[in-house]
Amino acid sequence: MLGHGSKAEGANQAMWQIAQLIKEKGGYEIVECAFLSLNPPFIHDGIERCVLQGAKEIILIPYFLLDGEHVRRDLPGKVSEEKGKYPGIEIILGSPIGFHPKLAEIILERISEVDGQNKRP
């Protein structure tokens, strides 16, 4: 999984938690997180970790909601650089989280949490 990265303490923790769930529920042996900037592991580190664990195909999923410049330009550029380092490994950049109907369920859950706090007797 590819995230932007943040200097804020604990800000990247949610992505690590999601990665663990993917590993457990998705049946994938190798699941790593890497960041575009600000803090390690960086993209090249994450790919190297996968290769060292024996991956022959690496699917990179951007942990981004918006299809902005990082997703359209920066991530493909970094991934292209890395592909040249591992000629025998297939490295595929997938789509970002973007729009998905399940996101509405999450937003409704968050609204309910706040709305429930405001309805005290």
pLDDT at 18: 94
Taking only the tens place, the pLDDT of each residue in 85-110 is 999 999 999 999 888 899 999 999 99
pLDDT at 119: 60
pTM of the predicted protein model: 0.84
User: Hey, is 115 helix, strand or coil?
Assistant: helix
Taking only the tens place, the pLDDT of each residue in 33-85 is 999 999 899 999 999 999 999 999 999 999 988 788 888 889 999 999 999 99
CA pair distance 74, 18, nearest whole angstrom: 23
CA pair distance 27, 83, nearest whole angstrom: 25
